[in-house]
Amino acid sequence: MSKYFQIQWREFVRDLTANNKLTPNELLFEILNFLKKNLEFFKKKPFSDYDFEQFLDVDINDYLPEINSYESANVQYFINTAKRYENAQEATIALFLRDALEDMLIFESGRTCPRCGRSGMGVLKNRLDDRLAFLCRQCGLGVYFDESKVKPGELKIASITDLHNAHLI
Ligand SMILES: [Zn+2]
């Protein structure tokens, strides 16, 4: 990995380790801060393959990773893995961070994907008009609640308020 990114990543991991009782929400806050601080980097390959910008406008005050069963054991696992990745390829770190953010932020419904059969399609919303949609994390199939098709780049993270208003939580 580039020297610059390696320094930033090590600093990020050191900060996480310094606080031995991070809550899931605090970890989310730290990751989003890391993203914002290094935004120019996240716009470039390999990070740009994972659309990190979709996570940037998540309102941390209107989100709880715990609703996705992201608990303190997951926080510890994240920190331990991050430590092991001190010298990892950037592509490895990109995938690791994207997966962690999705685990924390994408609410899983009881719906099974009609295309690939994965259970627990995620719930997201339209960037412009807030219509809720199901998205399969395995094959990428997206459908709005009214069954119309999702086009690429249309969705963003749904907040706790969105999920609550739709009686999903
Ligand atoms: Zn699928």
Measured in Å, residue 113 CA sits from the centre of ligand 1 at 5
Q: What was the pLDDT predicted at 34? A: 96
Whether residue 57 sits in one domain with residue 125: no
Whether residue 86 sits in one domain with residue 17: yes
How many CB atoms are closer than 10 A to CB 134? 23
Whether residue 90 sits in one domain with residue 147: no
For the chain, how far is it from start to end, CA to CA, in angstroms? 41
Q: What is the DSSP string of 90-138?
A: HHHHHHHHHHHHHHHH-EE-SPBPTTT--B--EEEEETTT--EEEE-TT
Measured in Å, residue 65 CA sits from the centre of ligand 1 at 23
Measured in Å, residue 169 CA sits from the centre of ligand 1 at 23
Amino acid identity at 78: F
Measured in Å, residue 64 CA sits from the centre of ligand 1 at 25
Measured in Å, residue 115 CA sits from the centre of ligand 1 at 5
Count of the separate structural domains present in the chain: 2
Q: What residues make up the domain containing 93?
A: 3-105
Measured in Å, residue 168 CA sits from the centre of ligand 1 at 20
Measured in Å, residue 139 CA sits from the centre of ligand 1 at 4
For the chain, 169 residues long, give each residue's pLDDT as a single digit of tens: 788 899 999 999 999 999 778 999 999 999 999 999 999 999 999 999 988 988 988 998 999 888 888 999 999 999 999 999 999 999 999 999 999 999 999 999 999 999 999 999 999 999 999 999 999 999 999 999 999 999 988 999 999 999 999 999 9
Whether residue 88 sits in one domain with residue 46: yes
| Residue that has been written with the tokens 């331990």 in this structure | 80
Q: What is the pTM of this model?
A: 0.92
